């Protein structure tokens, strides 16, 4: 029940390992591998992906919640798609989230860096709801099972609301939406090329 396929397991291990390294080499890793705004002298192209493997080194909850979501939903997608397709999809979502965040920070007075796997994770959530829309999920503290399509749609609406209004500062809401948008575009592209001829989805 709690087994993880190899790519999901590797992603979780790498993220936790880098979080531990941040406790020792945090300033160096953040300066070179977090995602900095385009106007920053610290910006580098590889940060569009590397930022997604770093987390806020001052709290365990950031990496813990992201990896828990990746564990819960990524293993189902990897089992359904296979490891190669899953890691490609995850990286596309993380990259799309990074690009979206660059645009958002360009119009923002805040010039800080961005870290976290949330963009890729939100893309995973989008794909899970796409292929398993009726799978029931419980989102605490609401003790009522809800279909995956509704939960993910509600998340997207909330992220858009918080991003536009500026509430819940310190969270890259537009990056989360960018990860979901990247996921949609990736799935539609694969479908258009006839690469999604898999059998009907199995329930998680």
- Averaged pLDDT for residues 145-165: 88
d(CA 44, CA 29) in angstroms, rounded, equals 13
More confident residue, 169 or 105: 105
Whether residue 1 is contained in a domain is answered as no
Whether residue 199 is contained in a domain is answered as no
Whether residue 128 is contained in a domain is answered as yes
Query: Strand, coil or helix: what is 138?
Result: coil
Whether residue 197 is contained in a domain is answered as no
Tens of pLDDT, residue by residue over 121-154, are 999 999 999 999 999 988 777 778 899 999 999 9
pTM for this structure? 0.90
- Residue 136 near residue 147 (C-beta atoms within 8 A): yes
**Domain holding 72: CATH number?**
1.20.1540.10
d(CA 121, CA 73) in angstroms, rounded, equals 9
Residue written as token pair 């998340």: 155
Residue written as token pair 């898999």: 198
Element (H, E) at 15: helix 6-33
Whether residue 152 is contained in a domain is answered as yes
Whether residue 162 is contained in a domain is answered as yes
128-162 b/e (C-beta count within 10 Å ≥ 16 → b) = bbbbbeebebeeeeeeeeeebbebbeebbeebeeb
DSSP for residue 114: B
Q: Indicate the pLDDT class of residue 106, thresholds 50, 70 and 90.
A: confident
- Is 28's pLDDT higher than 70? yes
Which residues face 35 on adjacent strands? Answer: 114
pLDDT given at position 53: 98
Structural domain including 155 reads 6-192
pLDDT given at position 30: 96
Burial of 197 (0-12, 13-18, 19+ CB in 10 A): exposed
d(CA 60, CA 29) in angstroms, rounded, equals 17
- Mean pLDDT value across the chain: 89
Q: Indicate the pLDDT class of residue 111, thresholds 50, 70 and 90.
A: low
- Averaged pLDDT for residues 67-73: 95
Tens of pLDDT, residue by residue over 43-58, are 999 999 999 999 999 9
CA 54 to chain centre: 12
> What total number of domains does the chain contain?
1
């Amino acid at each position: 029940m709690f087994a993880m396929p190899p790519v999901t397991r590797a992603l979780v291990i790498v993220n936790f390992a880098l979080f531990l390294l941040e406790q020792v080499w945090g300033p160096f890793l953040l300066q070179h591998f977090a995602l900095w705004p385009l106007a920053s002298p610290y910006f580098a192209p590889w940060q569009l992906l590397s930022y997604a493997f770093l987390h806020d080194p001052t709290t365990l909850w950031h990496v813990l919640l992201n990896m828990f979501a990746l564990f819960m939903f990524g293993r189902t997608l990897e089992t359904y798609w296979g490891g190669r397709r899953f890691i490609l999809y995850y990286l596309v979502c993380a990259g799309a989230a990074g690009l979206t965040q660059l645009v958002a920070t360009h119009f923002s007075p805040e010039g800080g860096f961005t870290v976290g796997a949330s963009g890729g994770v939100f893309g995973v959530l989008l794909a899970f709801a796409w292929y398993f829309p009726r799978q029931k999920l419980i989102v605490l503290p609401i003790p009522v099972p809800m279909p995956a399509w509704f939960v993910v749609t509600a998340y997207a609406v909330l992220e858009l609301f918080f991003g536009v209004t500026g509430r819940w500062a310190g969270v890259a809401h537009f990056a989360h939406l960018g990860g979901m948008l990247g996921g949609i575009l990736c799935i539609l592209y694969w479908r258009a090329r006839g690469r999604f001829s898999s059998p009907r989805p199995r329930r998680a």
